[in-house]
Structure 1
Amino acid sequence: MPELVFFSGTMDCGKSTLALQIGHNRSARGLRGVIFTRDDRAGEGKLSSRLGLVTDAVEAHERMDLYGYLVDHLSRGGRADYVIVDEAQFLAPEQIDQLARVVDDLGLDVFAFGITTDFRTRLFPGSQRLIELADRIEALQVEALCWCGAKATHNARTVGGIMVVEGEQVVVGDVNENSAEVGYEVLCRRHHRRRLTSAAAGAGTLSPDVLPVTAD
Structure 2
Amino acid sequence: MAELIFFSGTMDCGKSTLALQMDHNRSARGRRGLVFTRNDRAGQGVLSSRLGLSTAAVEAAHDTNLYAYSEAALAADPEIDYVICDEAQFLTEDQVEQLAAIVDELGVDVFAFGIATDFRTRLFPGSQRLIELADEIRVMQVETLCWCGARATHNARTVGGEMVVEGEQVVVGDVTPDEEVAYTVLCRRHHRARQAQAVPAPAIASA
**What's the TM-score bracket when you normalise by the shorter of the two chains?**
over 0.9
Residue 202 of structure 1, CA deviation: 3.6
Using the size of structure 1 for normalisation, the TM-score is 0.89
Q: Which residue of 2 aligns with 1:213?
A: none
| Contact 2:4–2:134, Cα closer than 8 Å, also in 1 | yes
Residue 167 of structure 1, CA deviation: 0.1
Task: Tell me, in whole angstroms, the C-alpha distance in 2 between the residues paired with 1:186 and 1:105.
Answer: 38
Q: Which amino acid aligns with 1:68?
A: A
User: Which residues of 2 match residues 92-131 of structure 1 at below 5 A?
Assistant: 92-131=92-131
The answer to whether residue 185 in structure 2 is matched with residue 186 in structure 1 is yes
Q: Which amino acid aligns with 2:42?
A: A
Structure 2 residues without counterparts, runs of 5 or longer: 203-207
Q: Which residue of 1 aligns with 2:147?
A: 147
Structure 1 residues without counterparts, runs of 5 or longer: 175-179, 206-216
User: Which residues of 2 match residues 81-100 of structure 1 at below 5 A?
Assistant: 81-100=81-100
Q: How many residues align?
A: 198
Q: Which amino acid aligns with 1:97?
A: E
Seq. identity, %: 71
Using the size of structure 2 for normalisation, the TM-score is 0.92
| Contact 1:73–1:79, Cα closer than 8 Å, also in 2 | no
Task: Tell me, in whole angstroms, the C-alpha distance in 2 between the residues paired with 1:184 and 1:62.
Answer: 23
| Contact 1:38–1:44, Cα closer than 8 Å, also in 2 | yes
RMSD of aligned alpha carbons = 1.4
| Contact 2:173–2:182, Cα closer than 8 Å, also in 1 | no
Q: Which amino acid aligns with 1:203?
A: P
Task: Tell me, in whole angstroms, the C-alpha distance in 1 between the residues paired with 2:34 and 2:147.
Answer: 37
